[in-house]
Amino acid sequence: MAVVSVCSTKGGVGKTTLVICLADAVARQGGSVAIIDADPNGHVAAWRERAGPACTVAVVSDVTERTILDRIADAAARYGVVLVDLEGAASQAVTYAIAESDLVLIPSKVSGMDLQEVFRTYEVVQRAERMLRRPIPARVVLTQMSPLQSRVAQHARQEIQDASIPVLRTEIIQRAAYQAIHFTGATPAGPDGDPKARSEVKGVLDEILATLAAQQEAA
Ligand SMILES: Nc1ncnc2c1ncn2[C@@H]1O[C@H](COP(=O)(O)OP(=O)(O)OP(=O)(O)O)[C@@H](O)[C@H]1O
Ligand SMILES: [Mg+2]
């Protein structure tokens, strides 16, 4: 029922990795979850094969600009949570996905250049809001942070908040556990998952679910 798009006009910020981690965490909590793989590179499909038959995450592949609205609507009717993995650009497909979303997650690294892309991505969300005449909540999540960047992260967080864009409390640190996902298929939520990465993923998921619940209550 809840559609969450993960997008950024910048490539390589950790969108696909986050989508996979969140989806697997939902599945392992017993939730029904699908990923709409709207990036032509198909990295989610490759991960899904490695994850094997025990994994209950559904993946909808071969999604194009022409089919994305239907694919999201179909998945939203069948699954409790639908996560949309988008390409790192501002395309028509990205706008369509945002328009169908209950929440937009914008992952970003903390450098100044990356923040520019946060603002650019947020503008895409704002244009969709104007087009649809409805609010589309968005949250930034700071990702791939080096443990040495906590000072910079504070500046980044402040700058984003000064632009009235909410930032999740949880930060995703740069860890080998996140890179391994694409090789092993195993995510931090799995039985041998890195506990620190698992707690970050759980933190992001809890914040997202709380936001969605608050929205539903307000509606
Ligand atoms: N928290 C993290 N710690 C370490 N490496 C990470 C982390 N998140 C992502 N990566 C690595 O960074 C690279 C880019 O990540 P990912 O593919 O998830 O980004 P993306 O935003 O989906 O990229 P694209 O825009 O190309 O689709 C990958 O090699 C991934 O393994
Ligand atoms: Mg990706």
pLDDT value of position 154: 92
Total number of domains constituting the chain: 1
Q: Which amino acid is at 8?
A: S
pLDDT value of position 20: 98
pLDDT value of position 162: 96
Q: Ligand 1 in contact with 15 (CB < 6 A)?
A: yes
pLDDT value of position 148: 85
Measure 78 CA to ligand 2 centroid, in angstroms. Answer: 24
pLDDT value of position 216: 86
| Residues of the chain below pLDDT 70 | none
pTM of the model: 0.97
Taking the CA atoms of residue 8, residue 9, residue 15 and residue 16 in that order, the dihedral angle to the nearest 10 degrees is: 140
Which ligand neighbours the alpha carbon of 173 most closely? 1
pLDDT value of position 1: 84
pLDDT tens-place string over residues 4-33: 999 999 999 999 999 999 999 999 999 999
pLDDT value of position 7: 96
Measure 187 CA to ligand 1 centroid, in angstroms. Answer: 13
* Alpha carbon nearest to ligand 1 atom 15, residue: 14
- Side by side, the strands of the sheet bearing 58-60 are 58-60, 33-38, 81-86, 2-6, 103-108, 138-142
Q: Ligand 1 in contact with 17 (CB < 6 A)?
A: yes
Measure 105 CA to ligand 1 centroid, in angstroms. Answer: 15
Measure 83 CA to ligand 1 centroid, in angstroms. Answer: 16
Q: Ligand 1 in contact with 179 (CB < 6 A)?
A: yes
pLDDT value of position 149: 84
Q: Are the C-beta atoms of 105 and 148 separated by less than 8 Å?
A: no
| Residue range of the domain that includes 148 | 2-218
Measure 14 CA to ligand 1 centroid, in angstroms. Answer: 4
Question: What are the CB-based long-range contacts (under 8 Å, 24+) for 118-126?
Answer: 118/8, 118/160, 118/165, 119/163, 119/165, 120/9, 120/90, 121/7, 121/8, 121/9, 121/10, 121/90, 122/163, 122/165, 124/7, 124/9, 124/90, 124/94, 124/95, 124/98, 125/98
Q: Ligand 1 in contact with 178 (CB < 6 A)?
A: yes
Q: Which of 16, 21, 63, 175 to mutate to test the pocket of ligand 1 (most atoms within 8 A of CB)?
A: 16
Q: Which of 46, 15, 12, 160 is nearest to 4 (CA)?
A: 15
Q: Are the C-beta atoms of 4 and 105 separated by less than 8 Å?
A: yes
pLDDT value of position 90: 85
Atom nearest to 43 CA in ligand 1? 17
* Alpha carbon nearest to ligand 1 atom 30, residue: 179
> What tokens were used for 20?
């996979």
pLDDT value of position 67: 97
188: domain CATH number is 3.40.50.300
